[in-house]
Amino acid sequence: MRRNLIFILMSIEIMLNGTGVAFVAAGSRWGQPDGQIMFLFILAMAAAEVSVGLALVLRLYHLHNNLDADAANEMRG
Amino acid sequence: MTSPYPIVAIAGILIVALSLAALLIWLERRLLALWQDRYGPNRVGPFGLLQVVADMIKIFAKEDWIPPFADKGVFVIAPAIIMVTVLLSFAVVPFSPGIIVVDLNIALLFFLGMSSLGVYSIVLAGWASDNKYSLLGGLRAAAQMISYEVFMSLSLMGVVLLAGSFSLSAIVEAQKRLWFVVPQFLGFLLFLIAGVAEARRSPFDLPEADSELVAGFHSEYSGMKFGMFFVGEYLGVILISSMITVLFFGGWLGPWLPPVVWFLIKMFAFICFFILLRASLPRLRFDQLMSWGWKVMLPLALLNLIVTGAVVVAWQ
Amino acid sequence: MEAAFYIAGIVAIVSTVLTISRLNAVHALLYLIVSLLAVAVAFYAMGAPLVAALEVIVYAGAIMVLFVFVVMMLNLGKRAAIAEGQWMQGSIWVGPVLLSAVLIAEVVYLILRARLPEIAVGVIDPKQVGLALYGPYLIGVELASMLLLGALVGACHLGRPVHEKTEARYDRNSDGARAHSGGNLIRAGIGRTPDAP
């Protein structure tokens, strides 16, 4: 199991990149620019997600002194 | 536009770039000495020119030591990355019509991509050395490169707007009437500053600030691995100088002389300017560097882009 | 171009698998960067040069540098790799891997049986993408810019110097003083240590 927050964020990047590949491949299959535009939006979204995510990781690391995702369960909902 | 014999062009550009980089080591020491009122290397060969050869022999003969606490794989890869990325960038530089390895239609983006990959060399070298000074150097390099790359690309977009293309030879052709340094003077200044920071030259040489960090990211490197960082830095200076020439000073354009000669003259002038910068400016403090980048340069680059866009739209 | 596409695809898949199986975060990041570069080459082979360049500049050149920066700043070292190895144990992943292996085999079978379509129909140059982006998709650009602004504000907020009061509270939690205050917050602060109340 991966509990390391950094690895979790990296895996999200892999998945986002996978959807990007699908969009670009579909766009180039039909010769339309729309697929590439969706990829640009994914890119913007990934940049936003990573900046906030990594800031959170740094903050959590300062609080708990480890990167365990389960350590951040104080907000029991 | 692309050279008819690509292999010849590749070999030629490689040989010229690498020997120029080696020559620059000598040139920088001599010029620095001139500006600081001393002699510099003048013993080996005429004007000390063979000093470079002597240094090369020394560097090749040195023991190629990898510290036992280092992360071996990453430690070995890191110096190779900078050579690969810088030399790949030379593939899209149009030295003159016909002397270009590949005339990509996204050449400018290719250059930006390669220069952003070059950061990894420094960052990974700092991390793999497993030494606090190296790590600090690597951290500084990462922060500096991310900050300065943003407005480096933004400052170039004014040129792209005026030329209407990402292709470098099209950008040179578009400067037949007027060099872009005139309408894009702000963009030129921004790119010059970002270029100095990307090449990690003084006053932006914080990753290897030798008065505080030993030698920064390459403290643990010796022998040819250090040589690769060293040559890579000079190759970076040549690359940035040639990009300034291509983007703002009309590349190979000029009267009477053959195009290549014009290109080399302009490039050489900028290389000397880089060395003069090192001779005259003190190093910045790190927080000054970051706030300068984000609070002054980035808004200026955005302003430049907006004004250029408005003018281009109004002109049509 | 066909061959370049397939080679880049294989490189991307292999390096991604290596990414998710590494224990050392920096090694994983290196493989992820290789994977992104391979995807960029595949994009170029598919006739999408603009996106290929942006993949290198933004993904590999900026987002991944941020990751490396954070990993270096935490400076986890060998201890983290050992902890990661302990977490990675267990047979939880065997089932998913087997099932997805079956799916991959099916996909390979289907691809090999089907008539392969051409990879690159034609090159879509940056100009076309730009015209479409600032034409029908203008609202998307605005939304993306708002999202980025939100992320900027969020990251600045999270990255501000820690407030002294909160810091003091957590400091108290982490050294032995938690006995006399009890409650959920304290338990969560130390998380998974077995001696939590």
Cβ of residue A26 closer than 8 Å to a chain C Cβ: no
Nearest chain A CA: its distance from C48 CA (Å): 7
**Which of A27, A44, A50 is closest, CB to CB, to C147?**
A44
Please check whether residue B269 lies inside any domain of the structure: yes
Contact present, C and A (at least 3 Cβ pairs less than 8 Å): yes
Q: Taking residues C4-21, what's their average pLDDT?
A: 87
Q: Do C60 and B117 touch (CB under 8 A)?
A: yes
Please check whether residue B109 lies inside any domain of the structure: yes
Q: Render pLDDT for B96-145 as a digit per residue (tens, 0 to 9).
A: 777 777 777 888 888 988 888 888 888 888 888 877 788 888 888 888 88
Dist CA B297 CA B289 (whole Å) = 10
Please check whether residue B98 lies inside any domain of the structure: yes
What is the pLDDT, as a whole number, of residue C150? 92
What is the pLDDT, as a whole number, of residue A4? 79
Q: Do B110 and C53 touch (CB under 8 A)?
A: yes
Show the domain range for C26.
1-124
Dist CA B269 CA B265 (whole Å) = 6
Nearest chain C CA: its distance from A51 CA (Å): 6
Does position C180 have pLDDT exceeding 50, yes or no? no
Please check whether residue B266 lies inside any domain of the structure: yes
Confidence of residue C149 (pLDDT cuts 50, 70, 90): very high
Q: Render pLDDT for C53-64 as a digit per residue (tens, 0 to 9).
A: 888 988 888 888
What is the pLDDT, as a whole number, of residue B226? 82
Window 32-71 of A, Cβ < 8 Å to C: 32-37, 39-41, 43-52, 54-59, 61-68, 70-71
Please check whether residue C143 lies inside any domain of the structure: no
What is the pLDDT, as a whole number, of residue B210? 67
Mean of the per-residue pLDDT values of chain C: 76
Q: Taking residues A22-51, what's their average pLDDT?
A: 87
Please check whether residue B140 lies inside any domain of the structure: yes
**Which of A24, A30, A32 is closest, CB to CB, to C43?**
A24
Q: Render pLDDT for C70-110 as a digit per residue (tens, 0 to 9).
A: 888 887 766 667 776 776 666 777 888 889 889 989 888 88
Give the CATH number, domain containing residue C84.
1.20.120.1200
Please check whether residue C132 lies inside any domain of the structure: no
Assess contact for C97 and A17: CB atoms under 8 A: no
Does position C173 have pLDDT exceeding 70, yes or no? no
Nearest chain B CA: its distance from C164 CA (Å): 23
Domain spanning A5-72, CATH class: mainly alpha
Nearest chain C CA: its distance from B51 CA (Å): 37
**Which of A17, A33, A43 is closest, CB to CB, to C39?**
A17
Chains in contact with chain C (at least 3 beta-carbon pairs closer than 8 A):
A, B
CB contacts < 8 A (B, C): 76
Q: What is the 3-state secondary structure (H, E, C) of chain A?
A: CCCEHHHHHHHHHHHHHHHHHHHHHHHHHHCCCHHHHHHHHHHHHHHHHHHHHHHHHHHHHHHHCCCEHHHHCCCCC
Concatenating the DSSP letter of every residue in C130-152 gives: HHHHTTTTHHHHHHHHHHHHHHH
**Which of C48, C70, C185 is closest, CB to CB, to A74?**
C185
Nearest chain C CA: its distance from A13 CA (Å): 9
What is the pLDDT, as a whole number, of residue B132? 79
Does position A24 have pLDDT exceeding 70, yes or no? yes
Please check whether residue C175 lies inside any domain of the structure: no
Q: Render pLDDT for C29-39 as a digit per residue (tens, 0 to 9).
A: 889 999 999 99
Nearest chain C CA: its distance from A26 CA (Å): 10
Show the domain range for B127.
64-315
Contact present, B and A (at least 3 Cβ pairs less than 8 Å): no
Which secondary structure element, helix H or strand E, spans residue B38, and what is its range? none
If interface means Cβ-Cβ distance under 8 Å, which residues of chain C face chain B? Answer: 24, 26-27, 30, 33, 49-50, 52-54, 56-57, 60-62, 65-66, 68-69, 72-73, 75, 125-126
Radius of gyration of chain A from its Cα atoms, rounded to whole angstroms = 16
Q: Where are the domains of chain A?
A: 5-72
Q: Which residue of C has its CA nearest to A29?
A: C121
Dist CA C36 CA C23 (whole Å) = 19
Does position C183 have pLDDT exceeding 50, yes or no? no
**Number of compact structural domains in chain C:** 1
Query: Within chain B, which residues score under 70 in pLDDT?
Result: 1-4, 209-211
Q: Which residue of C has its CA nearest to B74?
A: C27
Cβ of residue A1 closer than 8 Å to a chain C Cβ: yes
Give the closest residue to B229 by CA, choosing from B96, B114, B78: B78
**Number of compact structural domains in chain B:** 1
Nearest chain B CA: its distance from C48 CA (Å): 11
Please check whether residue C165 lies inside any domain of the structure: no
Q: Do C61 and B106 touch (CB under 8 A)?
A: no
Q: Do B109 and C50 touch (CB under 8 A)?
A: yes
Q: Which residue of C has its CA nearest to A47?
A: C63
What is the pLDDT, as a whole number, of residue C176? 42
Confidence of residue C143 (pLDDT cuts 50, 70, 90): very high
Length, in residues, of chain A: 77
Tell me the backbone φ, ψ of residue A4, rounded to 5 degrees: -75, 125
How are the residues of chain B apportioned to helix, strand and coil, as percentages rounded to the nearest 5?
A: 70, 0, 30
